[in-house]
Amino acid sequence: MAEELIGNTEYSTYSFSELEEEVKDLIKKAEQACDTSYSPYSNFQVGAAVLLENGEVVTGSNQENSSFPAGLCAERVALFFIGANYAGKKIKKVAVTAKRKGESEFVPVTPCGGCRQVLLETETRQESNINVIIQSSYNQWVITKSTKVLLPFCFNKHSL
């Protein structure tokens, strides 16, 4: 099977204090984005912050709907906004954070399967790696080398 389908398993883990300032800043922006979540059904507030190659940061949050499948995850809100408004701008890093409504503590979260697929398509399309930054447990942060780390044996355009 071709390497691009298998993906790789390269990632590193850090405590918060070990992270680069740029990454800490991205995490903080993702945390702030949780405040814009519209999640009256799950009460689970997710924030995504995306660092573009020009240094700009674009954020997204989950937007739910009474017709449940019509809602959209924070990551896809941010990625599709970038696709529509920053065409051709490459993405360097994506940080994802979450908290339960009414609580101040952030909880570990990783992108859902659908968002992993969209992250992968974005990376494939821009032909350069995206680092995904997620909290895996208390004070433990994972930075992946590529989106493929989250989606081994993936389906992508090379499968067609």
| 39 contacts 22 by C-beta, under 8 angstroms | no
Q: Which stretch binds ligand THU (CB under 6 A): 11-19, 81-89, 109-117, 122-130?
A: 109-117
Is 75 a catalytic site residue? yes
CA distance readout (Å), 51 to 91, 101, 139, 158: 6, 26, 22, 26
Position 43: which residue type? N
Least distance from ligand THU to the Cβ atom of residue 119, Å: 10
Distance CA 32, CA 104 (A): 11
Q: Does 134 bind ligand THU (CB under 6 A)?
A: no
Is residue 62 close enough to count as binding ligand THU by CB under 6 A?
yes
CB atoms within 10 A of CB 142: 19
The residues near 107 (Cβ < 8 Å, ≥ 6 apart) are 98, 99, 100, 135
Residue of 31, 64, 75, 123 marked catalytic: 75
Residues 70-89 touching ligand THU, rule: CB under 6 A, are 71, 73-75
Determine if 7 is a binding residue for ligand THU (CB under 6 A).
Answer: no
Stretch that binds ligand THU, among 5-13, 28-36, 37-45, 126-134 (CB under 6 A): 37-45
Size of the site for ligand THU (CB under 6 A): 13
Q: How far apart are CA 153 and CA 158, in angstroms?
A: 12
Least Å from the CB of residue 38 to ligand THU: 8
Query: Among 64, 120, 132, 144, which residue interacts with ligand THU (rule: CB under 6 A)?
Result: 64
Residues 6 or more apart whose Cβ sits within 8 Å of residue 55: none
- Rounded CA-CA distance 123/90 in Å is 9
Q: Is 108 in the site for ligand THU (CB under 6 A)?
A: no
The residues of the shown chain that bind ligand THU, judged by CB under 6 A, are: 39, 42, 44, 46, 62, 64, 71, 73-75, 111-112, 115
Q: Which residues are catalytic?
A: 75
